[in-house]
Amino acid sequence: MIRPRRELRAENKRNARFSGSDVLHCVDPTTNYTTILLKQSPHEPIVRKVHDHVAAIFGKQLPYWISSHTNSQDKLFIPSYITPERVSVEVKSEKDAIKFDDWIQMIPQPNHITVIASAAITVWDNPKFHRAQTLNMMNPNFTTQEILPRFKGKYLVLNRAKCSDLHVMEFLDDWQTNKGYQNIKLVDIFLQVTTAFEQARIRELFEIEELADGKESLAFRYPTEECSQINAFQKEYSHREYIVRESDGVVASIFLNAKRFEFVVHDFNQEEMRGEMEDVAIEN
């Protein structure tokens, strides 16, 4: 991990010289991750040297993760010579948005993409977003209809999104009747401050069932390896309401309030769920 110099924990910090440059590196004792803190700009020469050094030892096909976040506009740093499996960026200007768009079109398809954009940025239409296994998007200028109907991955998190009741109803109907979204595992939508869901309108169109009192909630833990370093969503979900897919009885648990819609597809059908809950009740 390479980043500009910032405060880290005092333990295991060491000053060093690398290819003629002063750096500070810190080893996390719990993960053995090494963080290299750069003492000066530009960062590009040092990052390139570290990359070439690591590639010479372990080969060029390493599963890279690029995380680029800055407090300044027009400072997005994304090395062109690294092809990552995971991308996590913060975009604060149109210039950085164009730079990121050009870069992501050039590289192979990343498996996991996180984009945090300011209010001034317009989300571009890039098919690589739709093909990522994990897409975590925080941007107040897009609607769910720009991404959700075209998303082919498994985990979709949209924060500060523009989403109407109709968008949610169309999604639930398509999943429940097998018209679409059969690959999806998680949808988590958190609305903008100025908008809200009309829960009654959504609920009256679907047969949403609720677990009986005393039954354990339907839990799901978002795979840790899928998570970005900074994210706008929880890693664990616990729901008491669910719907059932018509074709095979597969259960999807949901949570719905005025500001949030959570949807998790589980690896069991309704009959299996009831059988397991009955077995637990007998054991207790």
Tokens linked to 172:
């639930």
pLDDT at 261: 96
Residues in the chain: 284
Q: What is the mean pLDDT of residues 40-62?
A: 73
Report yes or no: 206 and 244 within 8 Å, Cβ to Cβ: no
Query: What pTM was computed for the model?
Result: 0.82
pLDDT in tens, 208-241: 999 988 889 999 887 655 554 444 445 789 999 9
Contacts of 15 (CB under 8 A, 6+ apart): 22, 23, 24
**Is residue 247 very low, low, confident or very high in pLDDT (cuts 50, 70, 90)?**
very high
Specify the range with the lowest mean pLDDT, choosing from 42-46, 180-184, 277-281: 277-281
pLDDT digits (tens, 9 = 90+) for 15-27: 666 666 666 666 6
Question: CA separation (Å) from 220 to 177, 224, 238?
Answer: 23, 12, 6
- Minimal CA–CA distance to 219: which of 234, 240, 189? 240
Residue pair 104/110 in contact (Cβ under 8 Å)? The answer is yes
